[in-house]
């Protein structure tokens, strides 16, 4: 869902850049207040994993592919604010180093795939940590699906505001395909989370996932 160069008008990508810079600034500030030094490698490795997983496109309906977004996974492991830092970093690296997503569309891509998708995932997942494991996993799966669908809606809105495609054409098309891709997102997110839970040899660390980093 990385918007390439040429799809957005300057007014649209300009405003998105301003909003995303403010959002990223807030995420950096909040993360600085929240994380302890030993969380830095966990943030690093989650970013690396999400970057890697985003390279693996899986086939969906008729000649289309999708790949993991990863914001719900990042929120589940790190909590909302550090997850936003991680997702924004991944989107920036993809754009600058791999030309995946246009430079001027960076603000819009950060807004869709990091700020809003982490915000939605955070509101859902971080509010479900106080219950049991089953509710936690269910909230993660739902957040994973919803974050992809909402990101696709935002993408469609930005395209139509830029006059690239009329809303009544681009919006339904984006929603339909990303409803399916979102289902894969839920499945991959839960699988990865299960792996991480098993891999976390220090079980105390995994427990922290349920209560949002409080040990």
Partner 1 sequence: MKRFILLLLALSLLTAGVLSWFASSHPDGLERVAEDKGFIEKVKNPSYEILPDYTVPGVFNKFQSNGLAGIIGTVTTFFIVNILGKFLARRKKHRGSDVPLSY
Instruction: Identify the H or E element spanning 25.
Output: helix 10-34
Smallest separation (angstroms) from partner 1 to the CB of 150: 13
Smallest separation (angstroms) from partner 1 to the CB of 114: 13
Binding residues for partner 1 restricted to 118-147, rule: CB under 8 A: 122, 126
Q: Does 42 bind partner 1 (CB under 8 A)?
A: yes
Query: How many angstroms separate the CA atoms of 160 and 42, rounded?
Result: 38
For residues 72 and 147, the answer to whether their CB atoms sit within 8 Å is yes
Instruction: Identify the H or E element spanning 94.
Output: helix 80-98
Q: Does 168 bind partner 1 (CB under 8 A)?
A: no
Q: Taking CB under 8 A as the rule, which mask of x and - marks residues 80-119 in contact with partner 1?
A: xxx--xx--xx--xx-xxxxx-xx----------------
Q: Does 212 bind partner 1 (CB under 8 A)?
A: yes
Which letter, b or e, does each residue of 51-65 get, where b requires 16 or more Cβ atoms within 10 Å of its Cβ? Answer: bebbeeeeeeeeeee
Q: Which residue among 12, 17, 66, 124 contacts partner 1 (CB under 8 A)? A: 66
Residue in the block written with tokens 């269910």: 138
Specify the residue, 143 or 174, whose C-beta has the smaller distance to partner 1. 174
């Amino acid at each position: 869902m990385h918007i390439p160069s040429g799809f957005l008008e300057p007014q649209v990508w300009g405003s998105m850049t301003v909003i995303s810079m403010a959002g990223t600034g807030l995420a950096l500030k909040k993360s600085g207040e929240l994380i302890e030094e030993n969380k830095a490698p966990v943030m690093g490795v989650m970013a690396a994993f999400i970057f890697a997983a985003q390279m693996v496109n899986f086939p969906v309906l008729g000649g289309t592919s999708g790949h993991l977004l990863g914001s719900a996974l990042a929120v589940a492991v790190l909590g909302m604010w550090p997850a936003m830092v991680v997702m924004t970093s991944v989107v920036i690296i993809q754009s600058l180093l791999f030309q995946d997503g246009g430079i001027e569309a960076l603000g819009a891509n950060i807004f869709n795939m990091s700020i809003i998708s982490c915000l939605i995932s955070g509101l859902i997942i971080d509010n479900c940590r106080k219950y049991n494991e089953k509710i936690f996993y269910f909230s993660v799966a739902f957040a994973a699906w919803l974050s992809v669908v909402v990101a696709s809606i935002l993408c469609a809105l930005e395209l139509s505001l830029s006059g690239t495609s009329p809303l009544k054409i681009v919006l339904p098309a984006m929603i339909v395909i990303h409803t399916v891709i979102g289902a894969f997102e839920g499945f991959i997110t839960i699988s990865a989370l299960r792996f991480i839970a098993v891999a976390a040899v220090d079980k105390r660390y995994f427990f922290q996932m349920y209560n949002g980093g409080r040990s």
